[in-house]
Chain A
Amino acid sequence: MQRMDSRAPDGGWIPESRFVGALDVPVDLPLAAVGTRGLAVLLDSIIILLVDAFLLAAVTLSAGALQELARWTLLAVVLGIFVVHYGYFALCEWLMDGQTPGKRVLGIRVVESDGTRIGPLSALIRNLIRMIDFLPFGFGVGVATIFLSERCQRLGDMAAGTLVVREDEPPRAELGLPGLDELTPQEISLLEQYLAVRDGMLAERREHVARALIEWLIRRHPGIASRLPDLSSPALALDVLLGAAPPDRVERD
């Protein structure tokens, strides 16, 4: 169960950033963890390497055929590699609303510190200072400043005034909850988390967890016992109780 306190009302335990949107309602966004950001950089670096390899292969293959043109092709490749190395991150983040392909895969996004879309100058600043964050090797400066800063910013983020936030996955489970008005938000949250992951559980394990959840619910709300359908499978009974569509795996198992 996630920790709940006044500072993180949405149940997150990762440091959050807060920006004030329309109607003066503060919106709290979870900040991306350093490992997630590292993985995103790793994916993007692989993409850059592939582009480099493609450009070099193209010039090698075409060199014989082009003869005189080959020198200019060579210049184009030198400039192409330069632009990709310095511009990949900044261009992607500017044109893809704060995401690179790597960041998109991992569900994180760069935004201005007021929560608006990242602008071209900010994208340029944070990604040119990347070379300092990389020092002395393997993002030493960057990781240190992420750990030390209040809002998990590396040096480039501080200079550009940007934040890297984690975007929630869209909820995978719809909790119908017919007639279960007495549940607390924490209980709802736990049941939703169960519904979201139950498809991935082994059948035996799912029955075990469902039985434990039913016992826990009845202990907290004795009235629920009378509404529980009389089924041999606790998992199915819980699904019916919660008004959830049965998972696909039931038929296959």
Chain B
Amino acid sequence: MDYRTFQLQRREDWEAFAAGLAAAGRARREALAFEDLERLAALHRRVISDYAYARARFPGTAATRRLRQLAFAGHRLLATRHRPLGPRVVRFLLRGFPETFRACGASIAVAAGAFLLMTATGFVLTALHEEFAYLFLGPSAIEGLRRGTLWTDSLTSVMPPELLSGRILTNNISVAIAAWAGGALWGTFSAWILCVNGLLLGSVLAITLRYGLLGNLLAFIAAHGPLELTLIVVSAGAGLELARGLIVADVRPRRAVLREHARRSVRLVLGVAPWLAVLGFVEGFVSPRDDIDTGAKAALGAVLLAAFLAWALSAAARDAGAGAEGEMP
């Protein structure tokens, strides 16, 4: 068949398919009426078969390019399986996140171990050499410590709590995202975030202890600190999980392994982000207030941490329960 005859004979189907695609617009496959879907699928097969003929017989011509374009657009509409977002979110909250947390347990454990080690290191270094704290706290903050005031005292006098909350929650979510994405650099950046935050915590604990202000510091961080540190460790653990996708040996191609690890680990960040948003408000509205009893702050902190851990560990707990039942005769 020559080029012109091919075009004249087949063009009608191409136009019909293009019109059908335009009518479908940005709709998903699942949103189409059955008759429309059936008609589009039949036309798509004709377009694909014409494309196969055209690219063998008339490579590089306008008709071949157009057919490729139609085949591609049809493929995006007809071959994409659409899963509605609502049920996916519900499933993620009920099962997805706890299961991901369990699957990434090893990476999170490594992150937690490294963080504790660095906290201890920072504590010991600062206890031995006070100058180490200058790495993390400015000279004015340390001058304040000598005078017996904590640098956190001035936070709310400078900034209204609404703005403080916004700044803190966006900053913390940014750190969580960076700790995860940094895993794509073979985990180096995730490890760096763990080290810096661990050293900082240890160093701050040591220097406030030295000036007798540890109690004030603990009172300030009691409400938000425990969960916030946990969430940063989980995010860095997600980064290490992503890095494992670049490193672990597997029979599958590297790109398949990396993709699987990326999809698994980003779910940890998705689960952590809402908690960081809540903590932003706790840190902006509750932590700086002196009229709230330290015991109440500590109780709030404990409840928040317990709620997160109960959620995150629910899949592992369910497994342990099922395992115990399975062992029974």
Contact = CB atoms under 8 A, between A and B. Distances in A.
Interface of A: 2, 4, 9-11, 19, 21-23, 25, 27-29, 71-72, 74-75, 78-79, 82, 86, 96-98, 111, 113-117, 120-121, 124-125, 128-129, 131-132, 135, 155-156, 158-161, 165, 167-168, 170-171, 173-178, 180-181, 183, 185-186, 188-189, 192, 196
Given A29-B72, A131-B181, 8 more contacts: A10-B60, A10-B65, A23-B49, A71-B162, A74-B163, A82-B173, A115-B79, A181-B4
A97 B26 contact: yes
B68 A27 contact: yes
Contacts of A29: 68, 72
B58 A188 contact: yes
B162 A72 contact: yes
Interface string B59-79: 111111110110110111111
Contact of B65 (A4, A124, A155, A168): A168
A82 B170 contact: yes
Contacts of A160: 259, 262
Q: What secondary structure prevails in chain B residues at the interface with A?
A: helix
A175 B258 CA distance: 47
B68 A10 contact: yes
Contacts of B178: 131
A9 B71 contact: no
A114 B184 CA distance: 23
A187 B64 CA distance: 14
Interface residues of B, number: 65
Contacts of B177: 86, 128, 131
Interface in B244-265: 245, 255, 258-259, 262-263
A185 B59 contact: yes
A121 B49 contact: no
A51 B177 CA distance: 22
A117 B77 CA distance: 7
Contacts, number: 176
Interface of B: 2-5, 26, 41, 44-45, 48-49, 51-52, 55-66, 68-69, 71-72, 74-81, 85, 160, 162-163, 165-167, 169-170, 173-174, 177-178, 180-182, 184-185, 189, 242, 245, 255, 258-259, 262-263, 266, 269-270
A98 B77 CA distance: 12
B4 A180 contact: yes
Contacts of A128: 177, 180-181, 266, 269
A164 B49 CA distance: 25
Closest 9 CB pairs of A and B: A11-B60, A78-B166, A171-B62, A159-B262, A181-B2, A117-B80, A161-B259, A189-B60, A116-B80
A125 B263 contact: yes
A129 B181 contact: yes
Contact of A71 (B51, B68, B76, B160): B160
Contacts of B77: 117
Given A132-B184, A132-B185, A160-B262, A22 B160 contact: no
Contact of A192 (B52, B61, B262): B61
Nearest to B245: A159
Contacts of A72: 162
A41 B44 CA distance: 33
Nearest to A182: B2
A9 B59 contact: yes
Contacts of B81: 116
Given A9-B55, A10-B55, A132-B185, A75 B165 contact: yes
A75 B276 CA distance: 16
Contacts of A177: 3-4
B69 A75 contact: no
Contacts of A131: 177-178, 181
Nearest to A113: B255
A246 B172 CA distance: 63
B66 A159 contact: no
Contacts of B41: 22
